Structure 1
């Protein structure tokens, strides 16, 4: 297959606002052992991309400086040990490089795009699916019948959490900042949605759970939310942190943690090894991908933008008006 030498990619010209995202020409990357070269049809936009653009979340060693953590497209070349993928359509979790016409993806994190799933939808799945699965279901041990609290209910993470909870028999309570977003979350299958601007979410969670509290909390807020979260966490409950939008520090009552046997944990996905992400991909292929293939799992889509309008996509994400995923579409 004849491939071009150069491609269009979105560079971060300097740390700053959305306007620092600019199209540029870059060499088409070459896949190494176990890697795929994907002609990108679509790339998901995620909050870590925004943090990277602002200068707060540098790519891990060896990763591309081009933003973009999830892609979907056709495999057009492959390194040693991965050539059987050539010609297939895949969606993949990547450590960077997604905002481009071509991107390198580890074969270990690539999942097949089934019939009936658009490339835009396929690109909207990996980052949130891997994140929610690892944190809510592996670290948080959410299981059928549990109550879970998820902040940011209409974000990409929130909508994926609602979907997985609905499919796996877990009761999801979510928080949102507007009544219409609460209604959207309920329509997606949330057991309850709380407007955190008009209600005390901690008190409401206790009420909804008959005073017991949530078994698991998936928190992307941090800061002063931590003690409020713990106040509505059930005995033996698990609190899982995945972001710190309101700060990295908080005070908590250690005796309360001891007395109620609470577990506080958390993780970041991007720096983890390809081997670890590959194991997660295998679990998802076995446990969750049948829902994708049957059409029961579809990402909640907000809007798509052409690749060269990445700045507009970031502006929409930062405005906080989106419900679900924002995706960039390549011109290739």
Structure 2
């Protein structure tokens, strides 16, 4: 796979750069290389790398990389706080403006595709979910299980159900919560979306779409490296967090490593289950990008993406 046809960038192109791709595809390294080459600021677009306490397990850029170029919206949220797409959109908009004001190129990078669609297509103005409604929805999900819960949503809101990633419990919960909170289908609320913060035509975008076998091998190797770099210590520390937000505990591998620390499985079992869950997640990310970001140029490797974005051989 090579980068799809796109106009060659001019040397003075200062438009923001958007990089979306699955976990372990080399996004962070690409963003750093571009930041160093183009006087850029790297802005996080990953829903879990925002959390303090998860550096190794979420593959947040190491401190050495953060010292080589400015990095924003990494590790700035306590584990006790929920974090929404709306909050990210506001913060990312501020970072884009600040980077531009300082003469730098904003480089937004991450695997949370919803952040990019919110940025370039707009985000529906949906009121926050009241705690009582959220608790009731989560209890219903736990009682029914995800497939039956999704089917219950379909019976009430077939329009939104048809557009959801039904393997993602947070997305199904969000649709249920919006219906309970507003009495209106999420799909219709989204249809009333205000203008985007950044039009896609005003940005340089690329999606990393590696070959699946290469990606899966990288996932397995990276998780083994994470264990050597302290992922187990992070999981142990997370066991002592007071009332962590459910979003903070969705870091891939966290549940398996915590289960190991509780004596529920061996480290080898935890490693295999975590790697398997990560591979499945990456597969969903690839499918989502094909379906929702099909207009973006694609590259199989970070090197291809770098050439496409800079025009350099």
Assess same fold via TM > 0.5. Answer: no
Higher-strand-fraction structure: 1
User: Which protein is richer in helix relative to its size?
Assistant: 2
The TM-score with structure 2 as length reference comes to 0.29
* Higher RCO structure, 1 or 2 (CA under 8 Å, sep 6+): 2
